[in-house]
Amino acid sequence: MPRIVPLMPRIVPREESSPLRENGLRLAGVLAALLASGLIILILGYNPLDIYGRIIAGSLGTAYRLRNTIQKAIPLSVLSLGTLVAFRMKFWNIGQEGQFYMGAYGASLMAFAFPSLPALLLLPLMFITALAFGAAWAMIPAFLKARFSVSETLATLMLNYVAAKWVSYLQYGPWRDPAGSGFPKIAPFSPNAVLPGLLGVHAGWLITIVLSLALWFVLKKTRLGYEIDVLGESEATARYAGMHVLRIMFTAIVISGGLCGIAGMMQASAVERSLSEQLSGGLGFTAVITTWLSRLSPPVVLAVSFLFSMLIQGGSFLQSSLQIPASISQVLQGIIIFFVLGSEFFIRYRLVRGGKS
């Protein structure tokens, strides 16, 4: 008897589909994520609708909670903008945490070196130094990739821990505050080194919007943006078109790392008002998710980062109000990214019957 080989479905690229269909699939992915999250919450013994309501109330319910949500969205948005630049070029920068900490470290150097300098001079100096330190930290894996073909994913990831441990060393060692009553912490910044408030939140929200608009303009309306996109699609095409590949790559990485460094400066200056090993709270890794979900669009990054900040702030509220671990919000984030990426798969590909296993 001949052996019957079952026909297995094959994955084939999908032809161009309408924006309505694509957005419908993405919406279906979000709804599926909410249903799956609700099922997990139900298994844990809680009412999903009540939990969702408390997340919204915990992040937007009062002026204080809204302010905390916006404060979390600011560094997350800027980190995502920095990630976006590298990802458009297919340079997989996973070093946001390290660039964030090095930017904060550079800003702290200026804050402690010139504490009496007027804020109008000190804050821009901290801003520029943070950009330079973040960019320099990102240039290390860029150089290793260009010179030795080292994987930028591994290099940027490992440098995260180097930067975090450097700040930890400073906090427990040479920068430890003698007036800390035995508690290992770094002395606070002088008032001149603190970003001022604006409409109830620190001025970083305005800087974030300006950076988003500026980045959108660069990517959509300038030659550099066009070159970054071409290089991301094909290095061979970029070289054939006469583009200077190394110059484009290094310029994009400077922007990417510099933006992550700026995020560190704003968090250190406006929120912590000092340098701390707990400065990031994992926002750098969350930025990878928000960047991907935004489809590498600067304006969309702001919206997605705000929604994820609601999850983070709402998770903290759940912990204090219902004694539910705040990590439940991280579970929700993971489920959302899983289903949304699943919807992206069905936008780009389709399953057809045929072929032999």
SS3 3: coil
Distance between CA atoms of 171 and 86, rounded to whole angstroms?
31
Provide the β-strand partners of residue 186.
176
| pLDDT value of position 357 | 44
What pLDDT, on a 0 to 100 scale, did the predictor assign at position 202? 94
Q: What pLDDT, on the 0 to 100 scale, is given for residue 163? A: 97
In this predicted structure, what is the pLDDT of residue 155? 96
DSSP result, 188-216: PPPGGGSPPEETTEETHHHHHHHHHHHHH
Place of tokens 């910044």: 189
pLDDT of residue 84: 96
Give me the DSSP letters along 120-180.
HHHHHHHHHHHHHHHHHHHHHHHHHHHHH---HHHHHHHHHHHHHHHHHHHHHTTTB-TTS
Cβ distance 103 to 214 under 8 Å?
no
Q: pLDDT by residue for the chain (357 residues), tens digit each?
A: 555 555 567 777 777 767 777 778 878 888 888 888 888 888 878 888 888 888 899 899 899 999 999 999 999 999 999 999 999 999 999 999 999 999 999 999 999 999 999 999 999 999 999 999 999 999 999 999 999 999 999 999 999 999 999 999 999 999 998 887 778 899 999 999 999 999 889 999 999 999 999 999 999 999 999 999 999 999 999 998 899 999 999 999 999 999 999 999 999 999 999 999 999 888 998 899 889 888 899 999 999 999 989 988 888 887 777 777 766 777 777 887 788 778 877 877 777 776 544
- Which 3 state secondary structure label does DSSP give 10? strand
